[in-house]
Amino acid sequence: MILLNKKQFSLVSIINPSRQIYTLIVRNLPNSIFSKLDFLFLKNVVKEKILQVYAIKKKRNFHVLLLLPPMKNIIRSEILLFYTF
């Protein structure tokens, strides 16, 4: 789903990640958790809304991939951290 268009670039929210996105993550971040686990793990993490995947594309090429936690997960983890210390 395209969220924003600016000149030739577009910000896209990826709801169902493909193998191409998985291979880009594994190739460019060899020490990430996704390189140790398989494609289905990435797909389930996105499906359960633990992480959100965004891409900045120019035409059909990916230029940037962003893996971000939703805002509610950030707030929840900060509250949990606050109560544990």
pLDDT for 84 equals: 41
pLDDT for 68 equals: 81
Domain ranges of the chain: 2-84
Share above pLDDT 90 across residues of the chain, in percent, rounded to a whole number = 6
CB 14 within 8 A of CB 21: yes
Phi then psi for residue 31, to 5 deg, are: -100, 10
- Asked if pLDDT for residue 9 goes beyond 70, the answer is yes
Chain segment 26-59, per-residue pLDDT in tens: 888 888 888 888 899 989 988 988 888 888 888 8
Confidence tier at 81 by pLDDT (50, 70, 90): very low
Q: In Å, what is the CA distance from 79 to each residue of 7, 13, 82? A: 40, 27, 5
Would the pTM count as exceeding 0.85?
no
